[in-house]
Amino acid sequence: MCDTIVALGPSTRGGVTLFGKNSDREPDEVQNIIIVPRKQYRTGETVKCTYISIPQAAETARVLLSQPFWMFGAEMGANEYGVMIGNEAVFTREKPASSGLTGMDLLRLALERGRTAREAMDAIIRLLEEHGQGGNCGYRQKFLYMNSWLIADEREAYVLESVKSWWAWKKITDHWSTSNVLSLEKDFDAVSPGLIENAVRKGWCKSAADFNLRKCYSDPIITWGAAGKARQICSRDNLALKKGDLTTADFMAILRHHGGREDFLPHKHGGTVCMHAADKLIRRSQTVASLVGNIGSKGHYYYVTGASNPCLSPFYPVFAPGTISPAGYLEGGAEYSPEVYWWESEKIHRKALHHFPAARKAAQHKIQEYEQEMIQAIEEKRIPLNQAAIDNYFSRAGKIVTDLGAQLESLPKIKHNWLYRSYWQGYHKLNGTA
């Protein structure tokens, strides 16, 4: 489950494009923040994606990827030209294929091959039609689905939604969000041949004039279980609330949203933009990484948590021109390692679950103070955004998390039921944090 948001110039302060996404996946599924340099290839070379190989492009762009550790593709990312993409799982009456390009593969390939949002969208469409989509997208639990993508650059944005190799897209004029539901109805700008005809043939609508993408193709049961509608309403309400004056900080706040509940408790309250896992059936996903981008004529700025639960995790800057990953940042895998930022943050976050809402309140003040200073310094160009600055902010973000960990035992503790405790104890045994 995921939430992706975008706002273009008419909706933002300073006329920039703002982009954000929470990637919601299985709790132990490490999501690494990686930078892949620009590269050229020989004619005839192929690229091995998660399940299939396809012809490689002559040149691929430098890209920032927020990547589940076991796959080729990515949940969200950006490229050197200021294109940003986030994908969403969508659940349709048509069943996914057992193999093909995953939605995450298509996202990475589009970032590598597109210099504008339109070029990136066209790349997804072309690859979708040539190779199809499919394959298991779950980590420990099998999970197949169709995909939608929100694609933006500093001038324009598109929402692209797919069923098998069919697609429909809409150009965004102000702001938009997607949340594991087909967001297009009759309002698409273009649609692939076959999509409407298939719906009519199967009796999901009477005619082309009657066609509604969401109503015709949504799987009602799985879509309901994903709770995407409520999250989409929440994100869109928050975008509309500050339309014309939206900022980077606002996008970070939306990704931390708990449905407006000051008394939010992870074991009780689900279906929120900042998602917390609680069981293996309905609430089996949590936010494992978050990304926000500010793309404008004066600069492109990217911020990541590099960790789960943005309500407890500070953002730090990445992917400035000429920079690499922050000093001390290591990619993680299946097993817990105290040297890996994602894993060490996750260990603290899981302890914090026993101290909500006090833990969230304790973290919020320090995070807000740090991020306000960081955003102003970077976006108002008070400091050069070089490797030293990136290293410094990453170090400060880590200290906020470790300070929270040291403070937890002094905070009020809540008692969870046996099922919730057992759920998390099972993960501790699997990953070695027990």
What residues act catalytically?
2
d(CA 405, CA 38): 38
Which token pair is 65? 């990827």
Residue 313 Cα distances to 130, 162, 196, angstroms = 40, 32, 43
Number of H-type helices and E-type strands within the chain = 11, 18
**In this structure, how many other beta carbons lie within 10 angstroms of the beta carbon of residue 338?**
9
CA angle 26, 28, 32 (to 5 degrees): 95
Q: How far is CA 280 from its chain centroid?
A: 21
DSSP state for residue 246 in the 8-state scheme: B
Q: Which amino acid is at 306?
A: G
Residue 114 Cα distances to 85, 168, 217, 248, 255, angstroms = 11, 19, 29, 24, 26
Q: Mind giving me the DSSP string for 40-103? A: E--TT-EEE-SS-EEEPPSEE--EEEEEETT-SS-SEEEETTS-EEEEEEE-BSSPPBSSSB-H
Which token pair is 162? 């797919």
